[in-house]
Amino acid sequence: MVSAVMSAAEPDVVRRRNWLTNANAWLLLLPAIVLMAAFTHYPILSTLYHSFFSMSRGGESEFVGLENYTYMLEDDVFRQVLRNNIVFALATVPTSIALALLMAVWVDKKISGRSFLRLAFFTPTVLPMIAVANIWLFFYTPEYGLLDQFLKSLGFSGHNWLGDPSTVMSCLAVMVVWKEAGFFMIFYLAALQTIPPELKEAAEVEGASRWYFFRRVTLPLLMPTTLFISINALINSFKLVDQLVIMTKGGPNNASSLLLYYIYEVAFTFQDTAFAATLTVTLIAILAGVALTKFVYLDRRIHYQ
């Protein structure tokens, strides 16, 4: 306010003050800018740059244009991995959201022991994925694992869950949903608590059933949260590969491999940094696509409301 008054009267001082403000602001931002440039912006550009070169074992690199990209598109493993990511996202995202909503509704109601419920659902969130993977690895172990023992006690035969390409993805998806649903429940909880209770009372007075109310009022009001969670869950499904490192290593035959894990394998096990750069560019492009969808679609919806 003070500066506004001043700007009307004294342009010279304002210019100096603006210069000072600018300098101050930039100084405050300096650490953040330096770190982000070094570990986010530069790497993105550098990855793009390196994807146009090839790197031989001895360390010599040469410009190859789009060759790495053609190699990637012809790579059966890449196609498998991309397919896996999509399947995985489709399996985990809607399921986590549905469960999260269910959990939130239950915790929000006056059910006895709701803090116990909340505890039970949220606990997996504070566990490291690698610990979760260890526990579930034992569940899925053929013969001795908990799941097989349980099935055998019921008279069914066991199965090599993680060693069978047709079951491995579902098994991993179940585990990931177990870990993530509670986290998303929190967002729904917060959103549910912002729904004014008058709406609910009004609906009851009008004789609307709970389900009707839920479908016509609650769900639409939760839409922004649902979208927000979907974006988050989608990003997570691309980011979360810890479990692959100790459970399946992407196998059998790449049936459970995901893009980020493939990047890790190519870059650090096979030391092919050029191809890894190409794959990373693809991953960045996908994430950027999701971001754009969010900013365009989501923001438009918010403005509408």
Partner 1 sequence: MRQQSHSVETVAAWALALLWLLPLAYSLWSAFHPSEYATRFDLTAPLTLENFVRAWNQAPFARYYLNTLMLVSLVLAGQLVVSTLAAYAFARFRFFGREVLFALVLVQLMIMPDVLIVENYRVISALNLLDTIPAIALPYIASAFGIFLLRQTFKSVPNELVDAARVEGASSFGVLWRVFVPLGKTTYIAFGLVSVSYHWNNFLWPLIVTNSVESRPLTVGLAVFGAPETGVDWSVITAATVMTMAPLLLAFLLFQRQFVQSFMRAGIR
Partner 2 sequence: MKFKTKALLTAGFMTAASLSASIAHAVDLTMYYPVAVGGPVTKVIDDMVQKFQKENPDIKVEAVYAGNYTDTMTKAMTAMKGGQPPQLSVLFSTDLFTLIDEKAIVPIGEIPGADKEWLNGFYPAFMENGRVEGKTWSVPFQRSTIVLYYNKEAFKDAGLDPEKPPTTWAEMAEMSKTLVKKDASGNVTRWGVEIPSTGYGYWMLQALAIENGQKLMNEAGNQVSFNAPKTVEALQYWVDLSAKESVMPKGAVEWGTLRTDFLEGKTAMMWHTTGNLTAVKEGAKFDFGVAMLPAKERRGSPTGGGNFYVFKSASPEQQQAAVKFIRWMTAPERAADWSIKTGYVAVTPAAYETDVMKTYVKDFPQATVARDQLEHAVAELSVHDNGRIYKILNDAVQAAVTGTQTPKEALDSAQKQSERVLSRYK
Interface residues with partner 2 (CB under 8 A) are 56-59, 71, 76-77, 141-143, 155, 157, 159-160, 163-165, 251-255, 265, 268-272
The amino acid that residue 48 corresponds to is: L
Q: Is residue 208 within the footprint of partner 1 (CB under 8 A)?
A: no
Q: Is residue 270 within the footprint of partner 1 (CB under 8 A)?
A: no
Task: From the list partner 2, partner 1, none, pick the one residue 98 interacts with, judged by a Cβ distance below 5 to 8 Å according to partner type.
Answer: none
Q: Is residue 95 within the footprint of partner 1 (CB under 8 A)?
A: no
**Cα distances (angstroms) measured from residue 258 to each of 122, 194, 241, 287:** 26, 37, 7, 14
Give the integer Cα–Cα distance in Å for 279 and 238.
13
Q: Which stretch binds partner 1 (CB under 8 A): 68-76, 78-86, 142-150, 160-168?
A: 142-150
> What tokens appear for 231 in the block?
């974006």
Q: Give me the half-sphere count of Cα atoms (radius 13 Å) on the Cβ side of residue 46.
A: 8
CB 131, min distance to partner 2, A: 18
Task: From the list partner 1, partner 2, none, pick the one residue 28 interacts with, judged by a Cβ distance below 5 to 8 Å according to partner type.
Answer: partner 1
In the list 77, 195, 217, 245, the residue contacting partner 1 (rule: CB under 8 A) is 245
Give the integer Cα–Cα distance in Å for 43 and 48.
8
DSSP letter, residue 68:
H
**Cα distances (angstroms) measured from residue 34 to each of 2, 23, 29, 248, 284:** 32, 16, 9, 38, 21
Task: From the list partner 1, partner 2, none, pick the one residue 186 interacts with, judged by a Cβ distance below 5 to 8 Å according to partner type.
Answer: partner 1
CB 111, min distance to partner 1, A: 5
Q: Which stretch binds partner 1 (CB under 8 A): 9-17, 52-60, 84-92, 179-187?
A: 179-187
CB 158 within 8 A of CB 148: yes
